[in-house]
A and B are shown apart, each in its own frame.
Chain A
Amino acid sequence: MTVEAGLFALILAAMLALLQALALPAAHLLRRPGIAGAIPAAAAAQALAMLAAMAALIHAFVVSDFSVRVVYENSHTAKPMLYKVAAAWGHHEGSLLLWATLLSLFGGLTAFWRQGLPAAMRLRVLAVQGILSFGVLAFVVITSNPFDRLIPAPMEGRGLNPLLQDPGLAFHPPLLYVGSVGVSVAFAFAIAALWRGELGPGWARAVRFWTLIAWIFLTVGISLGSAWAYAELGWGGWWFWDPVENSALMPWLTATALVHAVRGIEKKGGLEGWVVLLAILGFGFSLLGMFLVRSGVLTSVHAFAADPLRGVFILGLFAAIEGGALTLYALRGHRLAGRVAFAPFSRDGALLLNTVLLTVACGVVLFGTVYPLLAESLGLGRISVGAPFFDATVLPLMAPVVALMALGPLMTGGRDSLKRLAPSIGIVAACGGVGAGLGLIWSGAAAAGFGLAAAACGGVGLALWNARRRWTRRRTGMAFAHLGLAVALVGITGGSQMAAEAIARLPVGGAVELAGRSFGLVEVREVPGPNYIAMRGTISVTGAPDLTPEIRRYETPPQTTTEAAIRSTLGGDTYAVIGDPSPDGTVVRVFVKPLLPWLWAGSALMAMGGALALASGIPLTRRRG
């Protein structure tokens, strides 16, 4: 019964989205402005209906209702409760329902955002969100209905892919989705601005607020996904330039650019056209990510669907939304051109250059991600573009971004001079030099990484010092976020350039040496888990507690997963996995990853910085627009 109610709520939400999209043109055509008054109510009702639909699906998973096809295919009665709930979005249909629910939720929340925004703009934003919601909901209902019944109902489910049974992974998709869907609000504002022919008051503030929310969630979601890959795949790496990772990175890069670019027009105008374009592209990358991940064109653990109709539908949706938006931009974008001239050698100039570099880096990631698909369809053979390509292209583009991030906040808002800036450049460069000198002990790449990180720290410190008499929440937030990137860079550099690994097949009692420490295999024994049996190795480490990596064997579906044992300290990670027990011993693979935990600390700092900056923009009073 709840299942039918869920399907009803889903279809109701699609109808409300259609109403939301058509009310404004209808009010105009029929000369009955009152009709448009229904739009905010429709947006709120649509959000509630989608929450009900999502709740109905989660309920079906919680009570293990195997008469629902996706529950049968992805759940099992023996599964722990957390993963029964998480299984609701651990497959194609459920993850799309979650995506659509969040889209509606953002629409419903923007209906309550008034802060100095004229009604004409507010209603247009909601109308655009209605169009987006209707498109995605039509896709869910037509090609991917999560409430499909199976008759007769099976007695037991097939279970979720055990690789996905990890707390990090239970929360990583919803967080990432909040981020990538959150970019849609900026998109709706951009289209509404093109529709109206002007941005008007309150526009920049609203775009900054919603994009910052999306950015925070993207940052946390990507970090959690990386941490999952690091702990669960047992390869000792945390980023593989997998197309699915790239699909999350691209919206993050454009959201970063957008948050920074919109800051300029919030204060005094200029670059309106560029901000609107970034907002359009940002949501385009979110949609493209959904297409790449959900259409089954990619080889990936995330690629659930193998149904060509779905791929064609998503591609059509993407083409309609982005094609329409870019056409509108080409036709009307010039009307938004800034009236305020800006100086190239200024804080805004540095900011602009960085947003351009971030966007170009995003374009390169896009190229590397879709190139294998293009090459194959053009008959150039099956090609894979991997880490060497991205390392050689994205990193050189990101290096100047970090350098400009260190220097930009030290520049004046108006036209700056090299003479005035020279002492600041000197200090930042000196910090960078110290870092680079330290890094040279290991490698040239380490020198670049540590040098840039130290320069960024110097820049942040100097900016805080310059502003010591007028610290605002927003400024502190910026300092946190920039410092977070520097700390993360230290973790990335240390964890890759200073890392070491060893591999050996050890009998019980044997040991392998790495980085001056001895790793001894003490025992290997079977340990039962809730729905798996683990083969647990105990590895003694000189001067540290034992590590206990596991191999877990699941029954439904029959599958094996590796659980790495990771011991983190401020100085770095010690990481161990075991594999292949056989009569002549067990393969033991150990890694030493100096400074790697700084990456997670840095990501947390970045998200906290975003939250601080957000708090400065939260409206405390309600005013009628």
Chain B
Amino acid sequence: MTRRRQRLILLGVGMAAVALAAVLVISALGDSLTFFYGPSDLLARPDAATHRVRLGGLVEPGTVSREGTMVRFTVTDGKSSLPVRYAGVLPDLFREGQGVVAEGRLTPEGGFVAETVLAKHDEKYMPPDVAAVLKKNGEWRAQQ
């Protein structure tokens, strides 16, 4: 085997592997990307109901209610708010008036059904996504 042929084989193997990866990536990107919205953005998008999305904002104080394992609360970005339903254990740091990210879908009735709920990791920390939504709507207060 000549070095030239060896190099061609190497190149061919590499290209084939990269092509395989590209096909996998492109087909996976189509249906596994999750977009992030605040309540106002999400309500302004008529097509959003069909997709799995992440909804970020603050938990509106006084809206959290529990019924069996079902939790209901409202997420707000200062302009609009959206009622959220979630069946499961809320994260340790879920609190009224604090940042939250809910992943799930809009229902045809206009509510949001969450499959997962993430809260901030500690007292000092605000998820950048939530901070961006709040800043956009002028609700941002620098924390310390």
Contacts and interface: CB of A to CB of B under 8 A. Distances in A.
Give the interface size bracket for B toward A: 35 or more
A49 interface: no
A385 B10 CA distance: 31
A306 B125 CA distance: 10
Interface string A339-381: 0011110000000110011001101100110000000000001
A264 B13 CA distance: 17
Contacts of A503: 69, 87-89
Interface stretch (A40-48, A172-180, A576-584, A608-616): A576-584
Q: Is the interface of A mostly helix, strand, loop or mixed?
A: mixed
Given A342-B6, A353-B13, A397-B21, A382 B35 contact: yes
Contacts of A353: 13
A364 B31 contact: no
A557 B123 CA distance: 7
Contacts of B122: 161, 163, 557, 559
B17 A367 contact: no
A561 interface: yes
Contacts of B9: 344
A500 B66 CA distance: 24
Contacts of A301: 121
A342 B28 CA distance: 36
A383 interface: yes
A337 interface: yes
For A234, A337, A341, A384, the residue with the greatest tally of chain B CB atoms inside 10 Å of its CB is A384
For A386, A577, A582, the residue with the greatest tally of chain B CB atoms inside 10 Å of its CB is A386
Contacts of B69: 503-505, 587
Interface stretch (A104-112, A388-396, A460-468, A476-484): A388-396
Contact of B36 (A368, A383, A397): A383
Contact of B10 (A274, A386, A582): A274
Interface stretch (B74-82, B105-113, B127-135): B127-135
Contacts of B1: 341-343
A582 B34 contact: no
Given A363-B21, A393-B21, 19 more contacts: A163-B121, A234-B89, A300-B121, A352-B13, A356-B13, A357-B17, A360-B21, A381-B35, A382-B35, A382-B129, A385-B33, A386-B32, A389-B29, A389-B33, A392-B27, A503-B88, A505-B66, A557-B122, A587-B89
Interface of B: 1-3, 6, 9-10, 13-14, 17-18, 20-21, 24-25, 27-29, 31-37, 54, 66, 68-69, 87-90, 92-93, 121-124, 127-129, 132
23 contacts: A299-B127, A337-B3, A341-B6, A342-B6, A343-B1, A352-B13, A353-B13, A356-B14, A364-B24, A364-B25, A368-B25, A382-B35, A383-B34, A383-B36, A384-B36, A385-B34, A388-B32, A503-B69, A503-B87, A505-B66, A505-B69, A587-B69, A587-B89
**Nearest 9 Cβ contacts at the A-B interface:** A388-B32, A382-B36, A579-B89, A392-B28, A560-B92, A389-B32, A393-B24, A360-B17, A341-B1
